[in-house]
Structure 1
Amino acid sequence: MKEQKIWLSPPHMGGSELKYIQNAFDTNWISQYGSNIDEFEECLENYLGNNSFVTALSSGTAAIHLALKLLNVEEGDIVICQSFTFVATANPILYLKAVPVFVDSEADTWNMCPNALEDAIKSSLQKGKKPKAIITVSLYGMPFKADEILEISRKYEVPVIEDSAEALGSRYKGQLSGTFGDLSVISFNGNKIITTSGGGILVSKNEDYKNRALFLATQAKENKEYYSHSEQGYNYRISNILAGIGIGQMEILNERIDQKRQNHDFYREKIAQIENIELFSEPDDDFYSNYWLNTILIKKESGTSKEEVRKKFSENNIETRYLWKPMHLQPLYCAYDFFGNDLSGTLFDNGLCLPSGTNLTEGCKDRIAKVLENLW
């Protein structure tokens, strides 16, 4: 009989989510209003600290879109974006008919390269176009080099949108991811470290941004006795039911972070014995990753491709996945400017994501270890 599937990063409920969902049903607030939404936002503001103001939304993508709107990005404006990421980071730029300019990764964190970022800004300025925003990502839970990126942001007076969709609970020099950007984004999609099924938040540093985001996320409905709209809005608010799931999930967030990091310890121990694989890990003590996904690089000298490794896992009913294909290599985005040496392309060519669910049992780990041990 075929063994049970081991998924990459499945949802993992704690149990208390049901009482908050029941509250939504009992009070009949099941749409985009209700006490769960307020409580969820308050939980996150308390967790993040740093005078964070949180707006709970339908997705992380919606949060990026609203962040760009809050920074007054319009048609023809330049937005600099990390290339090595999921497409949801970049798509909102096109929503606004702005122009993405993509920046490569650096080797320590796989996130935005400060040198390539500065080259991109200088190039834009030489063309007479000052970028409106920088979107940097904390990929797979690894924080970006915040000191260097923010220094460049301040130097050229270009605000930062921090896409920490994958990095809730990660820290850089002790400060939580999601609190570095002028505006920041966290996702609660079904595969994230905690989930609301579908959902995300926009984190801002002032209450005016929060209020403006809430206005835009609820169809830009003006405060009148009738439906009055003077500008375009969006249906981006989270529902009271999903916010209830989020409250329950926040109660177990620290436990989930510990479980993710224990998964990384497991992989580090196993992969240390395999010379043909390199495990992506924190470069130094400044970085504390939630290790949302554990990722590996298959060394070129191994003579084995990422596809061969993926197939061997698949034959054992274990899900793995390629690393994100960089935006500058995507058909949708390949015509836009790109700055860097294509390190992200090399990572894509040789990398793989391994199962990293917080519900991995010892039996699951034994099966994964057996595949790793028999790759060569």
Structure 2
Amino acid sequence: MTAAPPRPRILLSSPDVGEREQELVAEAIASGWIAPLGPKVDEFEARMAERCGRGHAVALSSGTAALHLALLELGARAGTAVIVPTMTFAATANAVVYTGAEPVFVDCDPETGLLSPELLERALGELTAEGTRVAAVVPVDLLGRSADYPRLDAICERYGVPVLADAAEALGASCAGRPAGSYGHAAALSFNGNKIMTTSGGGMLLTDDGALADRVRYLSTQARQPAVHYEHTEIGYNYRLSNVLAALGLAQLERLDGMIGRRRALREQYAAAFAGVPGASVFQRAGDAADNCWLTAVLVDPETAGWSSDDLRTFLDGAGIESRPLWKPMHRQPVFAGARSFLDGSADHLFATGLTLPSGSALTAEQVETVFRALGTFLGERR
């Protein structure tokens, strides 16, 4: 008798695509605009700028590309520093290194995982006092929650340092009534395959500065001069988004609110599942009404719970369910060993106790049932 094939692994956040995406991508292909740029790119930029309350949007090959080019235009280079939260994905810090600037890591608020305003103030004060020019501060919107921009902006304004918002994880969220991506001199979005919406790979730079947007467009198309031959006076980059992928993005943008709604429904289910469980709580649960709920995570105090986040991860892995610790802090990454940091232990604690759980809008009813059945079994065995 032939054994039944194994069930596909349930992932944290797989792409959510359907008929509308196929329709618009086919339309783009039929139009003949296959190479980078084209009418779908123009439309995607216009709609995203409107959604995020910005004057300009530039569609790029990744969120990292948006950070890189924005940092270059803000003056990041060798001999300068850029402040980055230590609680983030490596791309934020890597983009700083691309420019030759020094990434300086700052710890987070222990309740939200977002850049600590108090430690930011300390970092800016010390760096300024010693004569180090800070080219930018790059707050990161973590797991779908926007950073505390009103406080961060006020601090940075006092020191005359521009803010570049890494909103890669927060499209559709808001802060103080303003949409994610609307803060900072510029902001970066990501449309990677696991994000709230995807263009397969891709990203966007958002800004109200028309000159900055023009420069990013120029640099992202290999810095080609307006000549009949290929003329280059600066180093450029191959960072533009294709017309086909922009079509995918347009369809995703149409469906964005529905996808956020499904992720929020999962957040509510997790909150109910962990309600009353000693030592366990849903991360960022307090005040999450403005979040996009990109990823839901649980924090576990092993002394109180009697089990650890890694115990849960191992159990779920055995059931074919992906889960993952929160971002390993940048100051703990071997590649950034010795980097200057302003720390209080908050990011280390979140990494040690936090676990992200399947949160994707593409999860089927059967997959959701499987996840919560496994979670119920795990918790039941430990009560």
Sort the TM-score into its range (normalised by shorter chain). over 0.9
Alignment of 1:33 onto 2:42: no
Q: Distance in 2 between matches of 1:46 and 1:294?
A: 27
Counterpart secondary structure, 2:76? coil
Q: Distance in 1 between matches of 2:352 and 2:285?
A: 21
Map 1:218-257 onto structure 2 (within 5 A): 218-257=221-260
Alignment of 1:321 onto 2:324: yes
Query: In the alignment, which of 36, 48, 53 is matched to residue 52 of structure 2?
Result: 48
Residue of structure 2 in register with 1:74 after alignment: 77
Alignment of 1:262 onto 2:265: yes
Residue of structure 2 in register with 1:65 after alignment: 68
Residue of structure 2 in register with 1:162 after alignment: 165
Query: In the alignment, which of 105, 122, 126 is matched to residue 123 of structure 1?
Result: 126
Change (3 A) 1:318 1:245: same
Q: Distance in 1 between matches of 2:206 and 2:252?
A: 18
Map 1:269-280 onto structure 2 (within 5 A): 269-280=272-283
Map 1:110-149 onto structure 2 (within 5 A): 110-149=113-152
Q: Distance in 1 between matches of 2:27 and 2:191?
A: 21
Residue of structure 2 in register with 1:350 after alignment: 353
1:33-91 C-alpha deviation (Å, 9 max, x unpaired): 21110011011012112x43100000000000011011021112111111100000110
Query: In the alignment, which of 272, 289, 304 is matched to residue 291 of structure 2?
Result: 289
Q: Distance in 1 between matches of 2:83 and 2:200?
A: 30
Q: Distance in 1 between matches of 2:263 and 2:307?
A: 28
Alignment: residue pair count: 374
Counterpart secondary structure, 1:5? coil
Q: Distance in 1 between matches of 2:344 and 2:287?
A: 23
Offset of 1:21 from its aligned partner?
Answer: 1.7
1:109 and 1:143 in contact (8 A); partners too: no
Q: Distance in 1 between matches of 2:276 and 2:8?
A: 27
Counterpart secondary structure, 2:138? strand
Residue of structure 2 in register with 1:212 after alignment: 215
Alignment of 1:341 onto 2:347: no
Residue of structure 1 in register with 2:18 after alignment: 14
2:110 and 2:350 in contact (8 A); partners too: no
Q: Distance in 2 between matches of 1:362 and 1:186?
A: 29
Q: Distance in 2 between matches of 1:362 and 1:27?
A: 37
Q: Distance in 2 between matches of 1:56 and 1:70?
A: 17
Counterpart secondary structure, 1:358? coil
Q: Distance in 1 between matches of 2:374 and 2:280?
A: 13
1:190-234 C-alpha deviation (Å, 9 max, x unpaired): 000110000000011121111110000000001111111111110
1:20 and 1:36 in contact (8 A); partners too: no
Amino acid at match of 1:86: F
Amino acid at match of 1:325: K
Amino acid at match of 1:215: Y
Query: In the alignment, which of 362, 367, 376 is matched to residue 370 of structure 2?
Result: 367
Offset of 1:282 from its aligned partner?
Answer: 4.2
Taking structure 1 as the reference length, the TM-score comes to 0.96
1:263-290 C-alpha deviation (Å, 9 max, x unpaired): 11111111113223110134337x6110
Residue of structure 2 in register with 1:181 after alignment: 184
> Where in structure 1 do 4 or more consecutive aligned residues deviate above 6 Å?
none
Change (3 A) 1:305 1:236: same
1:274 and 1:373 in contact (8 A); partners too: no
Amino acid at match of 2:99: L
| Structure 1 unpaired stretches of 5+ | none
Offset of 1:368 from its aligned partner?
Answer: 1.9
Deviates most, 142-151 or 268-277:
268-277
Counterpart secondary structure, 1:374? helix
Offset of 1:168 from its aligned partner?
Answer: 0.3
Residue of structure 1 in register with 2:27 after alignment: 23
1:158-195 C-alpha deviation (Å, 9 max, x unpaired): 00110010100001122101111111011000000110
Q: Distance in 2 between matches of 1:26 and 1:369?
A: 43
Taking structure 2 as the reference length, the TM-score comes to 0.95
Offset of 1:359 from its aligned partner?
Answer: 2.2
1:161 and 1:182 in contact (8 A); partners too: yes
2:76 and 2:135 in contact (8 A); partners too: yes
Offset of 1:237 from its aligned partner?
Answer: 0.1
